[in-house]
Amino acid sequence: RFGTRPQALLRVTSPVEVAQIQRDLYVEAVTSAVASGSTLLQLAGQVAQDTVRPLQERARLHG
């Protein structure tokens, strides 16, 4: 998921390198969280649509 960056922290030679690696880890974590959230929202939307569809059909037939 984060590749070899955690291991790269063990080989840094300057505070700037530490900051760069931490930044990269943070950006990857945020990107992953946003992607996961997006997937969950898409799934929730699909479940809602699948749940409503039979109710709408029943209302159309008996309404």
Looking at residue 60, its pLDDT comes to 92
pTM higher than 0.85, yes or no? no
Give 38 or 7, the one with higher predicted confidence. Answer: 38
Asked whether residue 1 carries a pLDDT value surpassing 50, the answer given is: no
CA 31 to CA 57: how far, in whole Å? Answer: 39
* Average confidence score pLDDT of the chain: 90
Give 54 or 3, the one with higher predicted confidence. Answer: 54
Backbone angles phi, psi at 17, to 5 degrees: -65, -40
CA 30 to CA 2: how far, in whole Å? Answer: 12
- The structure tokens listed for 36 are 């996961």
CA 9 to CA 1: how far, in whole Å? Answer: 16
Asked whether residue 46 carries a pLDDT value surpassing 90, the answer given is: yes
Angle at Cα 30 formed by Cα 48 and Cα 13, nearest 5°? Answer: 165
